[in-house]
Chains A and B, each alone.
Chain A
């Protein structure tokens, strides 16, 4: 236990790093595009955890950390909307959402 009976900052950071790594692993290893999107969500939320944790432990008197986290949530929501729309569009055209089959952009 750290001072003031709080959980130390490093725990959060470790949690966030773990969460980020899981997300990254999902993005890199999953075939399904929807799953990749989900991995990205995990990574974004890992960042959110970091932001909130740093805000709380370093400068709780200003609100910017929280605001930043909220913006990230909003952007993540928008990104999911666009991402899913893209995936649906791809599926309609190619009848698949497997990432390794979507390799038109090559030499």
Chain B
């Protein structure tokens, strides 16, 4: 089997698993998860094989990627072609997607309480409420119960994996968009997985509609690109002639003096803003935490939202088209740098004041995605890709870890029977002793997110972004990102201290205990990558470490571009900044929350006062959007469209139109109809009367009939003869 056919096959097993589960095996939980995990494993094998082959070839792959194309849809006089393409960027993306997807699948088995008894009152569409069991001594215990829609969940994440793989191996924007939309659908389905909860329903609709806004613009961008180039394949778009043509053609309408390339770039970037939850379309992502805790959250942190960043990294040559290497960046990149760094800071501040363990991570995801977008915006191609990958690993780890924590807390809640919010960090504390594996891996993930120097993956990728920003004299971006990184370290430490250190602050927390191996194993695997993934990208020029670990990443991924980006000069200032913000933020967080006791106010609240409330309410953006968009939309549909247009105008016209025939009808019913009725009735009555009178002559006696016939014959004969003779 050639490598191209293996690439074709990578996305298919999860799709097959989806259909198998939905159509056949959904009644059997064990079979369903076996099929789903088996499919994920097959895709994983394919991805690893392709990744290793790509590694063997190395940077050469950039010029000669694995490619295979087939014609798909006839479009006028040309064909839309679909195909697969694996260049260095795809290879590393496949690597992290394969690992994280496989880990989610395994983790989901434990998260959905496979092997536990059925719940006492569990209903489909609601999270499991726990089951009562009796142990050997006759004591009653409440234990977690198995998810009622277990198989359905595995079907959905199977479809999700198909979407992600399709997006990654695609060699053109069209199939990328198909995968993109499939993931949008799965995201919708998984956020609303517990559709019995009103909040989950609202969140699913919010996520779908918000990302739809981005997708609409992205589709416009794709259409525009197709009009200009006549092809959507990367290989056709990223030729220097095409790019030059796009860069020199003014955009339709000459908007803001943009070139076609700039216009398309901005439209595509708006798609990313929606998908990767950048300001101002970020509000759906924190709400997406309504889904089953770690898994849909992990989709919304490690893989799916990465797709948005992956897409802009993929389109980087187009985004930079027209940039001569000097002077200001292209307008698209400037927009991206601005939005990315703003989002990074903005989301980090909100994360400071959140109490829900998952919401902190959700805002941290938005913030980290902002880092990537900002990195790309300043032209740091490799750094953005690098951060994409390290972030996928450690954010997957953190989310799965938080799921494990919540699971442990839920266990405590069920055990004690006292309801406390199992997601509120202020209800936790001291979990490190109860859940050692979760705690260790979570702290490793947190360290990576905060960027603990020299060891963790997060440090290397974040440092590279900062170094690039500094090296290319984008000091504003550098400053904003550095401050965001400081906050990141701070809220990470806050989270770790509140969750794992100190004493348990609720009874539930003191009864939490470690989750099953299906949940801890993925944590350990991801923790491994959260450390080591960074070593692949240590820059060559880095003192000491750079010579020990040759930085293959930038050589490898950099060759995806026709002209690999050059390195910035090594400078101690950004390195020092990275170290200071990371360690400083962590230390600050530790100092502030070290002595936090149950029932106390959040120390940050005292420090920030009113601003804390603003942060806790996410700058009231949800309320502002509600006021600006949701209510007008409701008003438009309820009052304007329904009451005025539909009820008033359209119904009014129709009622008017129907009034005339209705009047004619009632006139006809009053007068002519009576006459017709009377005639009809009289006819039938007459016939009836006649029949009743004359029926006596039908006596049934044959001889009488014959006599009558004789008389009539004679009578007729007589009349006839008489008339003849006369």
Contact = CB atoms under 8 A, between A and B. Distances in A.
A36, A102, A103, A104: residue with the most chain B Cβ atoms closer than 10 Å = A103
A36 B707 CA distance: 13
A106 B698 contact: yes
B661 interface: no
If over half of B's interface residues share one DSSP class (helix, strand or loop), that class is named, otherwise mixed; here it is helix
Interface string A77-107: 0000000000000000000000110111111
A103 B699 contact: yes
A49 interface: no
A14 interface: no
A106 B700 contact: yes
Contacts of B695: 107
A78 to B, nearest CB: 20
Interface of B: 695-696, 698-703, 706-707, 710
Contacts of A100: 701, 703
6 contacts: A28-B703, A28-B710, A99-B701, A100-B701, A103-B700, A106-B698
Contacts of A24: 710
A99 B706 CA distance: 12
A43 to B, nearest CB: 11
Contact of A28 (B696, B699, B700, B706): B706
Question: On chain A, which size bracket covers the interface?
Answer: 10 to 19
Interface of A: 24, 27-29, 36, 99-100, 102-107
A105 B700 contact: yes
Contacts of B706: 27-28
A102 B464 CA distance: 119
B700 A27 contact: no
B699 A106 contact: yes
A107 B699 CA distance: 7
Contacts of A28: 703, 706-707, 710
B289 to A, nearest CB: 88
Contacts, number: 29
Given A28-B710, A99-B702, A107-B695, 9 more contacts: A27-B706, A28-B706, A28-B707, A36-B703, A99-B703, A103-B699, A103-B701, A105-B700, A106-B701
Given A28-B703, A100-B703, A107 B710 contact: no
B511 to A, nearest CB: 96
Contacts of B698: 105-107
Contacts of A105: 698, 700
A8 B449 CA distance: 143
Contacts of A106: 698-701
Question: Which 7 residue pairs spanning A and B have beta carbons closest together?
Answer: A106-B700, A103-B700, A107-B695, A105-B700, A103-B701, A107-B698, A100-B701
A106 B701 CA distance: 8
A74 B696 CA distance: 38
Contacts of A99: 701-703
Nearest to B699: A106
B357 to A, nearest CB: 95
Contacts of B702: 99, 102
A100 B598 CA distance: 116
Contacts of A29: 703
Which of A28, A103, A105, A107 lies at the interface centre, i.e. has the most chain B CB atoms within 10 A of its CB? A107
A70 B715 CA distance: 33
Nearest to A33: B702
Contacts of A103: 699-701
B689 to A, nearest CB: 14
Contacts of B710: 24, 28
Nearest to A29: B703
A100 B703 CA distance: 8
Nearest to A106: B700
A72 B706 CA distance: 21
